[in-house]
Amino acid sequence: MTFNATSVNLSEIDTADVFYRISTGNDIDTLARSIKAIGLINMPFLERTESGYRIICGFKRVMASKMIGCKKIAVNVIGSNENIIERTKLAISDNSFQRALNLLEQSRAINLLSNAGVDDENYPVLAELLNLPVTFSDVKRIKPLCQLSKHIRQSFISEHISHYMALELGKLSPDTSRALSSFFNTYKMSFSKQKEILGLLNEIARRDDTTIIQVLNCDEITGIMDNSELDGNLKVSRIRQCLKKLRFPSITDAENAFLFNVKELQLPNSIKLIPPHGFEGANYSLSLNFKSIKELAGQSDEIIKLLNKPCLKNILD
């Protein structure tokens, strides 16, 4: 690769042009202090444009230099004979050989190679050289991430939503994805609960011919959100219960009635009454825990008592 070491005015560098940018990090304070103390060790690489210079790699170094008041900066300017693939390889390797790229950075790198004209036949060889995912299944899974809306990308990078959820939110309208990103940012929950809540919201909205935002803003859910006496975990739990009731009102009523009657049965901890899955069907089962014949005999007495309790009849009817 041919390049020319020189110095340029920082005002000539278009820092808004992020075509080659890979890194998702924005913290440059430490780097700025280092440059101020000992100078710039690794020079950024630039390419010349009609209006000045575009950064190929070294975005943070350029921004840190501006932060500490530098007027000029030492750089390497790529020769005009270098094609876009070579420039793209430089942009990616400057990041991927320093640290492991996160998924969004991998997505940016994969898209850069695609935009540079790297085809499926040549991609695996280049990807291996650049420390990128090689298999096409991984590429298909990762590539769309950097094309998502900014609020989805930010939620993903901050680990408020999962990879799966980021892609699912990307399928929704901008207003809906923004509302759900805000919701998941506010209420911390496992990724499986996020998936459950999104599924319930989708199903309720389709059934009632309404929108996810309208379901999320219904009085029952906003009442939970606005309740200052509940902590985040309790709010998530009650929101899930509320959505289940809205989606499956008869099943929710059956579940509540079952829990009430089981409490009335006053079963010992060693005996559990198990309802049909999803309260669909009529087959109940008993689970017994015992360590000896004597314990089992004691449980048989409890079962006989159970047969005479009205609450059991309420459950089975």
* Tens digit of each residue's pLDDT, the chain (317 residues): 789 999 999 999 999 999 999 999 878 999 999 999 999 999 999 999 988 999 999 999 999 999 999 999 999 999 888 799 999 999 999 999 988 999 999 999 999 999 999 999 999 999 999 999 999 999 999 999 999 999 999 999 999 999 999 999 999 999 999 999 999 999 999 999 999 999 999 999 999 999 999 999 999 999 999 999 999 999 999 999 999 888 887 666 677 777 888 888 888 888 898 888 767 677 888 888 888 888 888 888 888 888 888 888 888 87
Res 114: pLDDT:
95
First-to-last C-alpha distance (Å) of the chain: 81
The answer to whether 284 and 274 are in contact (CB under 8 A) is yes
Q: Residue 160: its pLDDT value, please?
A: 94
Tokens of 268: 């010992």
Selection from 161, 151, 166 nearest residue 188 by Cα: 161
State how far the Cα of 205 lies from the Cα of 212, in Å rounded to an integer: 6
> Where exactly are the structural domains of the chain?
1-82, 85-90+97-146, 148-247, 264-316
**What was the pLDDT predicted at 250?**
65
Burial of residue 67 (CB within 10 Å: 0-12, 13-18, 19+) is middle
pLDDT, residue 286, reads 86
The string over 84-122, giving b where at least 16 C-beta atoms fall within 10 Å of a residue's C-beta and e elsewhere, is bebbbbbbbbbbbeeeebbbbbbbbbbbbbeebebeeee
CA–CA separation, 14 and 271 (whole Å): 71
Q: How far is the C-alpha of 67 from the C-alpha of 47, rounded, in Å? A: 22
Cα–Cα dist 71/49, whole Å = 20
Residue 240 · residue 189 · CB < 8 Å: no
pTM of full prediction above 0.85: no
- Whether residue 147 contacts residue 114, with contact meaning beta carbons closer than 8 Å, is answered with no
Q: How far is CA 114 from CA 11, 107, 287, in A?
A: 31, 11, 58
pLDDT of residue 79: 86
Separation of alpha carbons 177 and 174, rounded Å = 5
Provide the greatest CA pair distance for the chain.
93
**CA 68 to CA 105: how far, in whole Å?**
27
Strand partners, 53: 13, 48
CATH fold of the domain at 1-82: 3.90.1530
Cα 216 to Cα 180: distance, rounded to the nearest angstrom: 9
Instruction: State the pLDDT at residue 254.
Output: 72
Cβ count near 285 (within 10 Å): 9
